[in-house]
Amino acid sequence: MEKTIFGVGIMPDQWPPKKIVELVSNNENGCLLCLQIDVQGCFVASVSEDGAVLHRETFNPVSVPPSARFIFCLAVSDQAFELYINGHSIPPLTSGVESISLPYSEEEGIQPSLVIPNLNPPSANNDEESFFLSTLQDIDFKAAAGDRYSLIRASGLLRQVLLDKILHMVNRNYKLPIKFNTIDFHNKPPTDIAISAHWQNLDPSYFPGAKTIQCSLDQFLGAPCLVFQGNKATVKDLIKACANAKGGVHLGKARIYSEQIVLDWDEAITLMGEKPSLIAIRGICRVALTGLKDLALEIMNRAI
């Protein structure tokens, strides 16, 4: 197996963690690549096939504050592992070695707070606007909760607001310019290595100081959020896959190929114990809510 995995994560809220944390796993053709953090604060990489471990490497323990953000790069070739955390090479574990102190961002990670607090749907002028505000409020609650069920349900609500024209129906009386602020998705990953799987979180709140761009609704829905085995899926594809196949609205098979790309990605990759599509949906919820906040506030202001 030859593979390189890049990712951005948030350290456990207790360091070292009380139990083993699975950071990322990649399962392709029965071969499983896994990166974990053990209770000693060591990163552990392994390759297994059909349940049998072929190679395993434990790296020197690292010292970081709880919940700190970090960037990792794990390269696998000829049964050898190379691990980089925040640009620092982490050597294999040897006896008597002290923890390696890593540089980290002092900015806090994303907090489970509401994007539009104090929404008051009953204050709207009509049923249409009240339904719109209630839907935004529901998305906000579900994104803040962050559990699997809530995020799947949130995808169905996103579909209603962004794809089923509810937004256009409500905004026709206000004609506010709707813009969505995202990470600049035109930037390519900082590597010359051929990448078979790439997921991009579009939510700027994860990355303070990162370059951002403003998008129209169509540009936002068309933004690429993952590449898997040469195939791209957009924000629209992600919303529809989670809403139409994972249970946001319907539960069953993907309807079109672009939705299947998302499901295939979820089968191959696990991040922090969760499917990437749901982590991405949470970010998309926050981007959407931030972009619709001015309209929601204007609806409530005019109703006063």
Residues for the chain: how many in total? 304
Higher pLDDT, 78 or 88: 88
Question: Tell me, what's the pLDDT at 110?
Answer: 46
Where residue 28 falls among pLDDT bands split at 50, 70, 90? confident
Cβ burial of 130 (10 Å; 0-12, 13-18, 19+) is middle
Is domain 3-101 given the CATH code 2.60.120.200 in the classification? yes
Q: How far apart are the first and last CA of the chain?
A: 63
Stretch 267-280: mean pLDDT: 69
pLDDT at 264 over 80: no
Tokens 């799947």 correspond to 152
Q: What is the pLDDT of residue 284?
A: 93
**Percent of the chain at pLDDT exceeding 90:** 34
What pLDDT shows up at residue 224? 86
The whole-angstrom separation of Cα 88 and Cα 184 is: 25
pTM attached to this predicted model: 0.73
What tens digit of pLDDT does each residue of 97-117 get? Answer: 778 887 655 544 445 589 999
Residues 6+ apart with CB under 8 A from 300: 119, 120, 123, 124, 133
Look at residue 123 and give its three-state secondary structure: helix
Q: Give dist(CA 73, CA 77) in Å, integer.
A: 13
Structure tokens at 199: 């997921």
Task: Work out the percent of the chain whose per-residue pLDDT is above 70.
Answer: 80
For the record, the structure tokens of 302 come out as 């005019």
Mean pLDDT to the nearest integer, 249-254: 57
For the chain, the structural domain boundaries read 3-101, 121-303
Question: Which of 180, 150, 206, 214 minimizes the C-alpha distance to 295?
Answer: 180
